[in-house]
Structure 1
Amino acid sequence: MEPFTKEWLLYLDYLQIEKNAAKTTIQTYQKDVEHFFQFMYKENMTRLQEVDHNIVRNYLSQLYESGLSKRSVTRHISTLRSFYKLLVREAVVDSNPFQHITLPKNSKPIPGFLFQEELDTIFSTIDRTTALGQRDAALLELLYATGIRVSECASLKIENIDFSLKTILVLGKGDKERYIPFGEFAEDALKTYINDGRNQLMGSKSIPSNFVFLNAKGSPLTVRGMRLILSKMVKKAGLTIHLHPHKLRHTFATHMLNNGADLRAVQELLGHSNLSSTQIYTHVTKDRLTSIYQSAHPRAKNSNK
């Protein structure tokens, strides 16, 4: 990075100020750019202006040969295309050698989700007579009711919940705020936990925490802690599925779309900046429509076959 510190700092300002990129996103971009700088060093190149189309093709080949997935290769090239685009804009280089590089499109994996029966089984095995049980019920209800990321859930504070409007205020990626509604099941679970179980977990702490979800010691529950709780829930329910927080996010989106929710509304609830990120959830809706068509249309099936 050292020979190109000035150019990287220029790009860093662009990511932080103009793009308002999240810290984790910037860290990923930095690794991608540093990886390319290392390649340049090995190729005895000392000027970013030296990079041309042939050099880029050579770099692309090395990325594939290193065993990276198509998705990772695409991300590397996209980062460098953005990096060089800024350098062209700022007159640091004359052209963008990554501009016309074409990459194979990634086939987006269909996200896993839970069936309603599986969720009902998990909910039914939670002991809501204990403080930890009330917390676990509220956690599961909220994650499923809102589709928020586990990091957003871990950072949720009491003042972010509006019970009169049944909404929560979430700070998402890139420090973007959004309001998300929740239903009666989540409302009941949250009220029970906050008024009873949470007070028990907080105990007699001299400095009360304003985070919603607490651990057994009264400290804020971490993302890792939430993952462990969900795993224990599944084990207690006797299910063989793997339940991670993002699967509940997938389940929320899938169930919403399957029951007639508008795609753009779900996009806003999930906090997706691009509609394409939300469209991966439409697979179940399509399957459901096909099933309905096959059973309802008089000429969907030929009885003579």
Structure 2
Amino acid sequence: MHPLPAAYAQHLLRDRRRSAHTVRAYQACAERLMSFLQDHWGGPVTVERLARLSAADLRAFLARRRGEGIGNASAARELSAVRGFLGWAAPGSASPRVRGPRVKSGVPRPIAPAEVIALAEEVADEAAAAWIAARDWAVLLLLYGAGLRIGEAMALMGAVLPLGPTLRVTGKRAKTRIVPLLPQVRVAIERYLSLQPWGVSPNAPLFRGAKGGPLAAGVIRRSVRGARARLGLGERTTPHALRHSFATHLLGRGADLRALQELLGHASLSSTQVYTAVDAAYLLDVYRHAHPRA
């Protein structure tokens, strides 16, 4: 393997404070590019050659990736990752000007509050033990009640105890924020803690897996997939959709956009503004179903 992608990954992790998931994705993209260029150029890929990368070279790489079956959104992300890698590997050189594919912008699909509760109940009902049922119920209520990303919930440690009216959360790029903790969510977490057999310590994960280790996000995702199928909910009903629902329902009840940005931990307001489109879409859907002339 060429050493540049691994060095780039270290740069992203150490200097840019990117998440482990982002680092893996960007490193994999850099490795694909280096492998392609070695075949494309028929020789070793050096920093000097990267600095002379042409638009035709980059288009050929994207054509290869499209031939492998990736869609417009994935191709656009691939192009963005490649540009970041080239900017780091060959600073000062002009990046090839290649127009990315058009990506249709969508809006997140919120889940109705009753469906959130039904989903959490269904997941809990299928749990193998009472403490696991309490854990899954608490996790899903936390995602909806506080707008957490699932990775943020999994990263909570016993040091957050005792629970109060707010919770300190560490999000993307190690950015911390304070989120309100609803009494119902606090009760759900405390009930789970009273039932789980592993005990609680400040340096241990708050949410445990069946064998006592850290709870993996994939466990919750699989449980939600099964529950949504049994309930007849759409494929977009995911743990992350609970965060979208949190934002949409707050905005629909008059929450300030700046306050919502802080609660969600978005670095820019543009990331939060997507929820104004969600709210408008929801109101239009209600209108169409309720108005006799719609």
Relative to the length of structure 2, the TM-score reads 0.78
Offset of 1:115 from its aligned partner? 0.9
Aligned partner of 1:104 in structure 2 is 101
Where 2:167 maps in the other structure, the secondary structure is: strand
Query: Could you tell me which of 231, 235, 249 is aligned with 1:239?
Result: 231
C-alpha contact 1:258 1:288 (8 A) present in aligned 2: no
Aligned partner of 2:187 in structure 1 is 188
Query: Could you tell me which of 186, 198, 207 is aligned with 1:202?
Result: 198
C-alpha contact 2:5 2:31 (8 A) present in aligned 1: no
Offset of 1:176 from its aligned partner? 2.5
Provide Cα deviations, 1:139-182, integer angstroms capped at 9, x if missing partner.
22212111212222122123224633x12222222333222212
Offset of 1:10 from its aligned partner? 5.5
Aligned partner of 1:155 in structure 2 is 155
Query: Could you tell me which of 15, 18, 29 is aligned with 2:15?
Result: 18
In structure 2, C-alpha distance between the alignment counterparts of 1:77 and 1:214, rounded to whole Å: 38
Kindly report which structure 2 residues correspond to 1:1-12, keeping only aligned pairs within 5 A, or say none.
Answer: 1-2=1-2, 5=3, 7-8=4-5, 11-12=8-9
Offset of 1:45 from its aligned partner? 4.9
- Cα–Cα, structure 1 residues 53 and 253, in superposed 2: closer, same or farther, change >3 Å? same
In structure 1, C-alpha distance between the alignment counterparts of 2:102 and 2:109, rounded to whole Å: 21
Aligned partner of 1:62 in structure 2 is 64
Query: Could you tell me which of 252, 267, 288 is aligned with 1:258?
Result: 252
Where 2:184 maps in the other structure, the secondary structure is: helix
In structure 2, C-alpha distance between the alignment counterparts of 1:64 and 1:230, rounded to whole Å: 31
Q: Sequence identity of aligned pairs in percent?
A: 31
- Cα–Cα, structure 1 residues 67 and 173, in superposed 2: closer, same or farther, change >3 Å? same
Aligned partner of 1:297 in structure 2 is none
Provide Cα deviations, 1:238-258, integer angstroms capped at 9, x if missing partner.
621154311212221221222
C-alpha contact 1:157 1:212 (8 A) present in aligned 2: yes
C-alpha contact 2:159 2:203 (8 A) present in aligned 1: no
C-alpha contact 2:87 2:95 (8 A) present in aligned 1: no
Aligned partner of 2:266 in structure 1 is 272
Alignment length (residue pairs): 281
Aligned partner of 2:75 in structure 1 is 73
In structure 2, C-alpha distance between the alignment counterparts of 1:80 and 1:225, rounded to whole Å: 32
Question: RMSD of the TM alignment (CA)?
Answer: 3.5
Which of these two proteins has the greater Rg computed from alpha carbons? 1
Aligned partner of 2:174 in structure 1 is 175
In structure 1, C-alpha distance between the alignment counterparts of 2:107 and 2:68, rounded to whole Å: 26
In structure 1, C-alpha distance between the alignment counterparts of 2:55 and 2:221, rounded to whole Å: 45
Where 2:178 maps in the other structure, the secondary structure is: strand
Offset of 1:56 from its aligned partner? 2.4
Offset of 1:48 from its aligned partner? 2.0
Aligned partner of 1:118 in structure 2 is 115
In structure 2, C-alpha distance between the alignment counterparts of 1:239 and 1:291, rounded to whole Å: 21
In structure 2, C-alpha distance between the alignment counterparts of 1:85 and 1:216, rounded to whole Å: 44
- Cα–Cα, structure 1 residues 55 and 222, in superposed 2: closer, same or farther, change >3 Å? closer
In structure 2, C-alpha distance between the alignment counterparts of 1:124 and 1:37, rounded to whole Å: 48
Structure 2 residue identity aligned to 1:102: R
Provide Cα deviations, 1:13-41, integer angstroms capped at 9, x if missing partner.
53233312222212211111121112211
Offset of 1:133 from its aligned partner? 4.1
In structure 1, C-alpha distance between the alignment counterparts of 2:9 and 2:120, rounded to whole Å: 45
Offset of 1:215 from its aligned partner? 4.4
Offset of 1:286 from its aligned partner? 1.3
In structure 2, C-alpha distance between the alignment counterparts of 1:219 and 1:80, rounded to whole Å: 36
In structure 2, C-alpha distance between the alignment counterparts of 1:131 and 1:61, rounded to whole Å: 50
Offset of 1:72 from its aligned partner? 1.6
